[in-house]
């Protein structure tokens, strides 16, 4: 199993990354909470990883912190929650926010995430309440450091819509979310961050 990756960021197309490790390119899927903390293209990054082996693919997921990876591993053990939905959950809220939802029985906030229905939200709260009770979570900064400015604003908007669709939102809904954001002079990850924040809080 691959538990950690350290290399140069070659491509960033949320939720996917391409990391060059001594000439070998690793394709990695990451939640937006990790994307917000990534350095610029061409710079080095270290990610804590989880590998999923299927009959038709070997998938690698990367996280900025051990806490994020731990939550991901806990989530995919819940019935009805696969890796894609786990990434969506960790993209819509950081680790502290998710644990707070579970501890406060806030199913309404979880239901606002794409792919999370009422039954799934209730199952997450019931099954994770005790598991997360004593877990100490470090604050996950949502600051978007190192986001590259796009020469064409529409490119950032288009990429943001594509990323939201990849995270589980329907095309029209993703477009509407982005239109509600003042995206002038914002990079792709910042547009996504603001769109997800608005969706969860609405």
**pLDDT digit string, tens, across residues 41-65:** 999 999 999 999 888 888 999 999 8
70-83+98-132 folds as DNA polymerase; domain 1 (1.10.150)
* pLDDT higher than threshold 80 for residue 171: no
Number of CB atoms found within 10 A of residue 3's CB: 9
- C-alpha torsion sign, points 176, 121, 103, 38: negative
Nearest to 148 by CA among 1, 24, 9, 55: 9
Closest by CA position to 93, among listed 28, 140, 156 = 140
Q: Give residue 50's pLDDT.
A: 95
What's the chain's average pLDDT? 81
| Mean of pLDDT values over 89-93 | 87
pLDDT class of 189 with cuts at 50, 70, 90: confident
Secondary-structure class of domain 4-63 per CATH: mainly beta
Cβ atoms 67, 140 nearer than 8 A: yes
pTM exceeds 0.75, yes or no: no
CA 119, 163, 197, 136: dihedral to nearest 10 degrees? Answer: 70
Confidence grade of residue 148 (pLDDT, cut at 50, 70, 90):
very low
Q: Check residue 73 and give its pLDDT.
A: 92
- Res 8 pLDDT > 70: yes
For the chain, which residues make up each domain, given as ranges?
4-63, 70-83+98-132
Most confident of 41-45, 89-93, 180-184: 41-45
At residue 197, the pLDDT reads 80
Cα-to-chain-centroid distance, residue 22: 26
pLDDT digits (tens, 9 = 90+) for 93-142: 878 888 888 888 888 888 888 888 888 899 999 888 877 765 544 433 33
């Amino acid at each position: 199993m691959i538990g950690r990756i350290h290399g140069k960021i070659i491509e960033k197309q949320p939720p996917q990354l391409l990391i060059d490790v001594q000439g070998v390119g690793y394709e990695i899927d990451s939640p937006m909470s990790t994307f917000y903390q990534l350095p610029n293209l061409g710079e080095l990054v270290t990610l804590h990883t989880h590998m999923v082996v299927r009959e038709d693919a070997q998938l690698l997921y990367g996280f900025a912190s051990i806490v994020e990876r731990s939550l991901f591993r806990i989530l995919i053990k819940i019935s009805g929650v696969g890796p894609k939905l786990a990434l969506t959950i960790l993209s819509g809220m950081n680790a502290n926010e998710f644990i707070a939802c579970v501890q406060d029985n806030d199913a309404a906030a979880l239901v606002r995430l794409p792919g999370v229905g009422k039954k799934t939200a209730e199952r997450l709260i019931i099954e994770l309440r005790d598991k997360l009770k004593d877990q100490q979570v470090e604050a996950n900064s949502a600051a978007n450091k190192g986001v590259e400015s796009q020469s064409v604003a529409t490119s950032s908007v288009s990429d943001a819509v594509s990323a939201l669709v990849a995270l589980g939102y329907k095309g029209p809904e993703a477009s509407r979310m982005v239109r509600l954001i003042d995206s002038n002079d914002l990079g792709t990850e910042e547009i996504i961050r603001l769109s997800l924040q608005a969706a969860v809080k609405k």
